[in-house]
Amino acid sequence: MSNDPYAESGEFIDVLSRGAWEALRVPLAQALAQARPDQGPIVDIGAGTGLGTLVAARAVPGADLIAVEPSPILRAALLARLAGDDMSRRVTVQATDAGGMVLPGRLGAVLAINMIGHLTPDHRRALWADLRPRLAPAAPLVVNLQPPPEPVAVPETAFTSVPVGRQTYQGSGGARPDGPDSVVWTMRYRVLTEDGTVERELVVDYPWYVLSAQMLLDELAAAGYAATVGEMDVVVATPA
Ligand SMILES: C[S@@+](CC[C@H](N)C(=O)[O-])C[C@H]1O[C@@H](n2cnc3c(N)ncnc32)[C@H](O)[C@@H]1O
């Protein structure tokens, strides 16, 4: 995709996302206890480097999965994660975005983790409508909410710091309002040497559509789902 917001920052996404995934792993696996792999595949929309795809594959043994990922650099990391792992036989990668994915008529579960703010409100609502008749009875659509819930400023905050060899990878970010339903997250990625010197720094802007829990619950109800917000702001919706 020519407008891939991860084209430059893709290098940093996996290493700096692992901590967040430690906290997301259990709520996601619990939500997937309702998956219906006998009815259809589990779809991971915006799979990134596959951290959630891996959780899903392990949580639902034997399930087929479709990992949808538009960014070439993140897809490369996803394919590297799959290579040599037993689960690679079960995961089909689609090199496209949510609007371009090709799905079967029946799905066993759907994930949209750490990605929903990339979709415009219209695209988001179209997605709920498209998925609703495909989801098997009681099968979950799992979406997580991310801050801010409304278009407000978020001061720059350090998110994570990960030692790799003699260097440390750091991620920080802040957001500024950018219209009635969106912000721009400005993320700063740094590589520090042992003495704390900044060896490299990359600053990237990501447009992000904000979504509060109530907005999401209302949209899902309007699209024919029953949904609840759980631990780590993980929303589980099932066809009503
Ligand atoms: C912050 S990353 C999260 C990746 C992964 N779900 C995770 O939690 O580790 C956001 C992901 O959404 C993807 N993405 C962006 N726009 C998208 C769209 N319109 N449809 C599907 N995925 C999209 C990005 O390429 C990226 O992989």
Question: Rounded to whole angstroms, how far apart are CA atoms 49 and 9?
Answer: 12
Instruction: List all residues 6 or more positions away from 58 whose beta carbon is below 8 Å from its beta carbon.
Output: 29, 87
Can you name the residues that pair with 206 across neighbouring β-strands? Answer: 185
Closest residue by CA, ligand 1 atom 23: 46
Each residue's pLDDT tens digit, 72-124: 999 999 999 999 888 889 999 999 999 999 999 999 999 999 999 999 999 99
Domains and CATH numbers, the chain: 10-145+212-239 (3.40.50.150), 154-209 (2.20.25.110)
Pocket flag, ligand 1, residue 119 (CB < 6 Å): yes
Tell how far the Cα of 222 is from the centroid of ligand 1, in angstroms.
24
Pocket flag, ligand 1, residue 47 (CB < 6 Å): yes
Q: Give the mean pLDDT of 209-216.
A: 98
Tell how far the Cα of 181 is from the centroid of ligand 1, in angstroms.
19
Each residue's pLDDT tens digit, 28-43: 999 999 999 999 999 9
Pocket flag, ligand 1, residue 143 (CB < 6 Å): no
Contact between 129 and 223 (Cβ < 8 Å):
yes
What DSSP string describes 5-46? TTTTTHHHHHHHHHHHHHHHHHHHHHHGGG--TTTS-EEEET
Tell how far the Cα of 196 is from the centroid of ligand 1, in angstroms.
31
